[in-house]
Amino acid sequence: MPALAADTTFEVLEPRSEIQHVRVNKDVSLDIYLPESANKQPSETQKSPTQSKRYPVLYVMDSQRYFYSALGYQKTLRDGANISPEYIVVGINTSNVAMSRQHFLQTDANQTIKLIRDAIIPYVDTHYPSNEKRAYFGWQFAAMFGLDLFNAAPELFEAYFLASGQHYSEAQLATLEENLKRANTLNLHVYLSLGKMETHTLSGHTTMATMFEKYQPKGIRWKFSHFDRFSIRYDHHTTPLESLSHGLEWYFSDYPDLTFYSLDDIEQFGGVSAVKAYYRKRAKRYSVSADVGEQAKFSMFRHAAQENNYRLFSIFEKELGPFEATGWYGFFAQFFFNNQQFERAAQLYQSGLSNRPDDHRYWGGLAQTYESMIRHQDALKYYRGALTRTKAGSPDATTYQQAISRLTK
């Protein structure tokens, strides 16, 4: 019986959560997620707020329903990738609201706005490493409330994700246009999502979209997602998933560490100068390094090597810094070998051997490189090492034996 099966036990572990829960009053509580790097920072008593890393904050109304969708984008796209920035998620949990949800978000909207503006946001900014760049998400009545929130305090949030707002009134829309008209400049992002079958509220959405287009030169970035990603039979209930996946991708579209898929792809992006400009702009918005990202550099070097374009590879090194391999040792070693960069090829084959000491291809590649460098004794050593690690009678074994015979004549 496998040891894994024999040793299987089931034990209820102590609850371990990254999420903090804070009661605001008898009706409302907060569900708060801090990014992993925030939990590794020294406390505020050990490090001044100006030195500590700060994060944007996504406020999620009705977090009892949508908190994990808001968190999932970040969690999925930071594990083994650098596609999502880190951000704090503050869920406004309304599951204990005594009055109806509609009353809390519509009839009593002014009091709810006051609670968020004068109590919740100051608490979060004081107790957590917020950089005071805030985004708001709301569905249905909470989407309608989101427009009231902007109209009451246009500078409070820089982004709004409004999913399936049920009815944007003429008064709301008129106030919106007055705010947009009165503003000199804005840093406003608005993502509207609506299912195709939600025709009863389409006119309000199209009116808003028309306004955003009209005042776009003032600094409005907007998108209206009007389609069914899942099914027309339940599209009203899936627009939150749309907003908290595709919407966040749209909002954070200038963050990901780039991946290029060909030299043409790099050229169409604008070449090295455009890549460096992208990372400088990224650094300014997200307070991260302005250095070109590791994934971007790897993909650029990879495609130059794949096309055996040593001239372009050298330009990339001049602009981005020396190439440093953390994998693909044989691939890049062969590229350097083909371009008579034997010392660099040998270094990479040695790195490959350190990682996989029984892989005959690294032994053989290093032997071939030493032979080209006229280091015949070293070449013999590694050809013999390659031969002992290769299946007898295989084409590779024949190649290594012929090389040994050639060098021992």
Q: What is the CA radius of gyration of the chain?
A: 29
- Residue type at 357 in one-letter notation: P
Q: How confident is the model at residue 409 (pLDDT cuts 50, 70, 90)?
A: confident
Rounded to the nearest 5°, which phi and psi values hold at 222?
-145, 160
277-318 pLDDT, tens digit per residue, is: 999 999 999 999 999 999 999 999 999 999 999 999 999 999
More confident residue, 4 or 332: 332
- The alpha-helical segments, DSSP class H, found in 185-233 are 202-214
Task: State the pLDDT confidence band at 41, using cuts at 50, 70 and 90.
Answer: low
All structural domains of the chain, each given as residue ranges with its CATH number in brackets, are 16-251 (3.40.50.1820), 263-407 (1.25.40.10)
Give dist(CA 163, CA 236) in Å, integer: 9
Amino acid symbol at 139: W
> Helix count (H) and strand count (E) of the chain?
20, 8
Percent of the chain's residues with pLDDT above 70: 93
Phi and psi, residue 57, nearest 5°:
-125, 130
In three-state secondary structure terms, 233 is coil
Average pLDDT of span 18-31: 93
What is the value of pTM for the model shown? 0.87
Judge whether residue 48 has pLDDT over 50: no
CA distance 267 to 346: 31
- Reported as a pLDDT band with limits 50, 70 and 90, residue 44 is very low
DSSP H helical segments within 219-270, as ranges? 235-242, 248-251, 263-269
Distance CA 166, CA 239 (A): 12
Q: What does the pLDDT read at residue 151?
A: 95
pLDDT at 385 over 70: yes
What's residue 112's pLDDT? 95
Residue among 159, 242, 150 at smallest CA distance from 198:
242
Encode pLDDT of 334-375 as tens digits.
999 999 999 999 999 999 999 999 999 999 999 999 999 999
Burial 329-368 (b: 16+ CB within 10 A, else e): bbebbbbbbebebbebbbbbbebbbeeeeebbbbbbbbbb
Q: Give φ, ψ of 164 to 5 degrees.
A: 55, 45
Per the structure block, which two tokens stand in for 18?
Answer: 């990254």
Residues 225 and 247 sit within 8 Å (Cβ to Cβ) = yes
| Burial of 402: CB neighbours in 10 Å, binned 0-12, 13-18, 19+ | exposed
d(CA 339, CA 351): 19
Residue 7: pLDDT band (50, 70, 90) is: confident
For residue 235, pLDDT over 80 is answered with no
* 15: pLDDT strictly greater than 70: no
pLDDT in tens, 185-216: 999 999 999 988 888 889 999 999 999 999 99
